[in-house]
Structure 1
Amino acid sequence: MKRKFSRRQFLGSAAALTIAGAAPAMAAPPVSSLRPVLRGEDFFKRAVRSADTILGEAKLRGKVSFAVSNATTGQGLEAQDAAVARPPASVAKAITALYALDALGPDHRFETRLLATGGVVEGEIMGDLVLMGGNDSTLDTDALAAMASDLKAAGIIGVRGAFKVYEGAIPSLPRIDPKQPDQVGYNPGVSGLALNYNRVHFEWKRASGKYNITMEGRTEKYRPAVRMAAMQIRDRSSPVYTYEDRGGIDAWTVARGALGGSGSRWLPVRKPGLYAGEVFQSLAGSQGIRLGAPKMIATKPTGEVLVRHQSPTLRRILRDMLKWSTNLTAEMMGLAATDALGHKVDSLKASAEHMNDWARANIGMQSVSLVDHSGLGDDSRVTANDMVKALVEVHSKGLREILKPIAMRDEKRRVIKDHPIKVDAKTGTLNFVSSLAGYLTGPDGTEMAFAIFAADTSIRATLTRAEREAPAGGISWNRRAKRMQQQLIERWGVLYGA
């Protein structure tokens, strides 16, 4: 059952642990009257636990930076080590969202096109058919199926030339962060043409002692198989997965002992354009339009646009990015923004440097140092002071409306319904890194901007590349950090918003 909290109950509960543990119970009445100096809500405010106590209980002293300010006036309310730069993890995506909105505008839509070179005669394309990416990170197999259907509806029955794919609207990169394990789906390749967030669906089923394997660009409606990603089973116990680029193919192996009877997972795609091209080739074939194998091209083509597919608005894309924390979307939006501002780059770091410059010039940040747009890279650093300054600067510009509502929870991690503090923020999680930044509204309606960055970089530095998917102790560390974040927010709600 979800618990309901009144404002008064909240004030009492926030101080309860401190009150209970402040002193032992008296065995006899005092010899003189006690002066009633603390009454009502003042009592609760005096009794609330200190920030140092909260950090100590979480065993995170010396590893946490935080700051909180009045979101309207910018007045600083409380801070600790707020000038110490720490990894922001996915909180960096909030900065990327502001950058993209400023460069492209909230109503911007990305367009994927089918282009004919050489003209069309009696339904046959005389030249080539080109699938042109336009930086739409939301493109999926369903959308490509609709484009194939639209191509047929346009009267196309064949292609005399080749089927080509252009993904060069932004730089093409095989992965976001080379330090991550090969198999993690949140670290795919990046290019101007994405499909299914650049992940391929690997599924296995054992029958009669043998495994049946599929590698597909799967959605609920379609399951087109691909050739550009291949899996082989190996008789070993570890490593569970290996990857290599073998002759233009994403070549995977998996340990037989790790499979069990059946299962599935999404694996990252390192060749996004080729992946989208193979899936479209299959879908066009189902419409009776036979295409040759996709050929990648580096030069932007010209010709007649036959089919267009538009993405949702940028504001909608960013709202979903902040909710689901999709790294690919962050990198594509950041690179697209950098390009729109007239900067030609060849790496995420170079693009992030332009975003850092923009953040210093436009949202009050002073020492921001990001190496990508998603926060996945180890070397990104942000201070709590800088993050709060940015949140105050953009307070009236609609960022809170696209941030994710963060539920307040009880000691058993159950959501507390109608909690008097309302939080909209961006979370950030890496191994031994946990961040939270955004806005909170106290019980009395006071709105605050806050940032909490927790990181144990000494433990993180000891992890091997293989350990980064699920390191020992990582889950318990993260839980302690998240509990600490809520306790700090409750503290601020009592002291500055009640």
Structure 2
Amino acid sequence: MLAGLLAGAALPACAEIIDRSPRPKSRSDAGGSGAGAAGGGAEALVQAAKLTGTVGYVVVDARSGAVLEARESETAMPPASVTKAVTALYAMESLGSGRRFLTRVLATGPMRDGMVEGDLVLVGGGDPTLQTDQLGDLVADLRKRGLRGVRGRFLYWEGALPQLSRVAQDQPDHVGYNPALSGLNLNFNRVHFEWKRAGADWSVAMDARGSRFVPGVDSVAMKVARRETPIYTYSKGEAREDWTVASGALGKGGSRWLPVRLPGLYTAGVFRTLAGAQGIALPEARAVGTLPQGEELGRVTSLALPEVLREMLRFSTNITAECTGLAASGKGGLEASGRAMADWLRSSFGVSARFADHSGLGGASRISAADMARLLVRAEAEGRGLKPILRDTGMRNDAGKVIEGHPVKVRAKSGTLNFVSALAGYISPPGGREMAFAIFTGDPARRDAVPLSQREQPPGASDWTARSRLLQGRLISRWASLHA
């Protein structure tokens, strides 16, 4: 178990698989079987899953919104990462599909003989997808322009977005899916930790590796402590992050990604290291609160927003959801930004929800299956662009395995927290009735009772999630055959 925790295996807390519109009216919302259901088959599937907590679902005709089958569909449930589907719609409408995030390098004075006569400034534009290789290529371009150093300071600005130390407060320090947020981010605000056995001790390294560049990191340090537990401890100063790891959990060697809590400093430090490797001498980075004016020497441009969001939905990256949501709302914190998104949802779709954040990592978010389905129906009817960026999660057999080449397409977003599992999207049979659906299962009380130290892999959560996902696949198979 210790080895699994240390290596950061895919676990339930972070893993993802999978007023004008007509208000759907359920034909049978209490008993679990809707029109055309054979012998209460859906309810039998629910009982066979043996899930604690609540199971709520609805499947509707995607064109008319008519409810085909429902159970506990008006009960507000934690949506987990299904929240990201709402965030994608919110970001596209608020920021525009042509939006790209920029990371720039400015010079506050002219460059003479390769030296900037002023300050060099690394300017973050809120890009949640910036990677080390992109920074390395940016530095290479600056070197081609003749840059060798700076007479003044090396500054960084991360004020395009609020600086937040983490997404959710109720997660262990070491989980990489709960990073800091900033206007200047790198590698999803994670640092690579690697260890190897060296005699009676271990050698450790912290780096910001990409595919082509592997710069070391100075602002984050790791020490091995002679103990069995806790596996990790963490402390943060103004300009440094310090970790310790338990020797009893290390074994012969391994690696994992750890979260970064000082992302601006981390990114600027990596940039400085890459610059030094290519012959550009820079002093230590300093944060600046007000964006200086200067000439742009180079930039990194993100993919267009729909592609950024498509990748977010595919890999369920929390930092992308939070950065795009904060950029869309312009608010100074996640709670206020989540409220702004809920207000937008109500005014745009007539749907009620509560959002603690934009990724679904916080357990306080709530939306009902019926409201999620209403959103999906109207989003598709109005051509809001959600369905094309959802991932094809596939039809699954009775064992939960994807059936290759199945003619029915399922485009959906999944979400998983401890003892919470959700799935919502569209079922598209060839030439048949298209359906929208939402399946929310959850036992929030059981989730909240898990001690903080166990929230990466609490006992029973993995099995609970597996049963929930199997139920989701069986319900979708039922609906595809019964209602298509």
TM-score of the pair, normalised by structure 2: 0.90
Alignment of 1:437-452 (within 5 A): 437-442=424-429, 444-452=431-439
Q: Distance in 2 between matches of 1:46 and 1:123?
A: 75
Q: Deviations over 1:203-252 (max 9, x none)?
A: 00012222111000011211111111111111111110111113531110
Alignment of 1:32-111 (within 5 A): 47=38, 50-60=41-51, 63-111=54-102
SS at match of 1:469: coil
Does the CA contact (< 8 Å) of 1:131 and 1:166 recur in 2? yes
Q: Which runs of 5+ in 1 are unaligned?
A: 1-44, 340-344
2:462 is matched by which residue type in structure 1? I
> In the alignment, which residue of structure 1 is the partner of 2:257?
266
Residue 123 (structure 1) shift = 2.5
Does the CA contact (< 8 Å) of 1:129 and 1:163 recur in 2? yes
Does the CA contact (< 8 Å) of 1:49 and 1:491 recur in 2? no
Q: Percent identity?
A: 49
Q: Deviations over 1:315-342 (max 9, x none)?
A: 1000000000000000001011112xxx
2:404 is aligned with 1:417: yes
2:455 is matched by which residue type in structure 1? R
Residue 137 (structure 1) shift = 1.1
> In the alignment, which residue of structure 2 is the partner of 1:467?
454
Q: Distance in 2 between matches of 1:334 and 1:292?
A: 34
Q: Deviations over 1:397-421 (max 9, x none)?
A: 3211110111222234432123243
Alignment of 1:262-411 (within 5 A): 262-339=253-330, 345-365=331-351, 367-395=352-380, 396-411=383-398
Pair 1:233–1:53, CA change in 2 (3 A) = same
Q: Distance in 2 between matches of 1:457 and 1:47?
A: 31
Residue 474 (structure 1) shift = 0.7
Residue 82 (structure 1) shift = 1.3
User: Quick one: which of 481, 484, 488 aligns to 2:475?
Assistant: 488
1:98 is matched by which residue type in structure 2? L
Does the CA contact (< 8 Å) of 1:55 and 1:61 recur in 2? no
Q: Deviations over 1:453-484 (max 9, x none)?
A: 10011211210111100000111100100011
1:405 is matched by which residue type in structure 2? D
Q: Distance in 1 between matches of 2:186 and 2:125?
A: 12
> In the alignment, which residue of structure 2 is the partner of 1:17?
none
> In the alignment, which residue of structure 2 is the partner of 1:24?
none
1:484 is matched by which residue type in structure 2? L
> In the alignment, which residue of structure 1 is the partner of 2:132?
141
> In the alignment, which residue of structure 2 is the partner of 1:456?
443
Pair 1:443–1:492, CA change in 2 (3 A) = farther
Residue 180 (structure 1) shift = 0.4
Alignment of 1:146-295 (within 5 A): 146-295=137-286
Q: Deviations over 1:186-219 (max 9, x none)?
A: 0010001110110000000012222111000011
> In the alignment, which residue of structure 2 is the partner of 1:32?
none
Does the CA contact (< 8 Å) of 2:123 and 2:157 recur in 1? yes
CA RMSD of aligned residues (A): 1.4
SS at match of 1:279: helix
2:122 is aligned with 1:131: yes
Pair 1:410–1:117, CA change in 2 (3 A) = same
Does the CA contact (< 8 Å) of 1:364 and 1:393 recur in 2? no
Q: Which runs of 5+ in 2 are unaligned?
A: 1-35
Question: After alignment, is 45-54 or 137-146 more displaced?
Answer: 45-54
Alignment of 1:16-35 (within 5 A): none
Q: Distance in 2 between matches of 1:419 and 1:47?
A: 24
1:217 is matched by which residue type in structure 2? A
Q: Distance in 1 between matches of 2:46 and 2:166?
A: 36
Q: Deviations over 1:16-41 (max 9, x none)?
A: xxxxxxxxxxxxxxxxxxxxxxxxxx
What is the total number of aligned residue pairs between the two structures?
447
Does the CA contact (< 8 Å) of 2:396 and 2:477 recur in 1? no
Q: Deviations over 1:68-126 (max 9, x none)?
A: 11111222222211111111000000000000100111221111000011232333211
1:393 is matched by which residue type in structure 2? R
User: Quick one: which of 102, 107, 120 aligns to 2:111?
Assistant: 120
Q: Distance in 2 between matches of 1:447 and 1:281?
A: 53
Q: Distance in 2 between matches of 1:213 and 1:322?
A: 33
2:442 is matched by which residue type in structure 1? A
Residue 494 (structure 1) shift = 2.2
SS at match of 2:77: coil
1:452 is matched by which residue type in structure 2? I
Residue 49 (structure 1) shift = 5.4
Pair 1:412–1:64, CA change in 2 (3 A) = closer
Q: Distance in 2 between matches of 1:285 and 1:46?
A: 68
Pair 1:413–1:389, CA change in 2 (3 A) = closer
Does the CA contact (< 8 Å) of 2:82 and 2:360 recur in 1? yes
Higher CA-based Rg: 1
2:70 is matched by which residue type in structure 1? A
Question: After alignment, is 369-378 or 55-64 more displaced?
Answer: 55-64
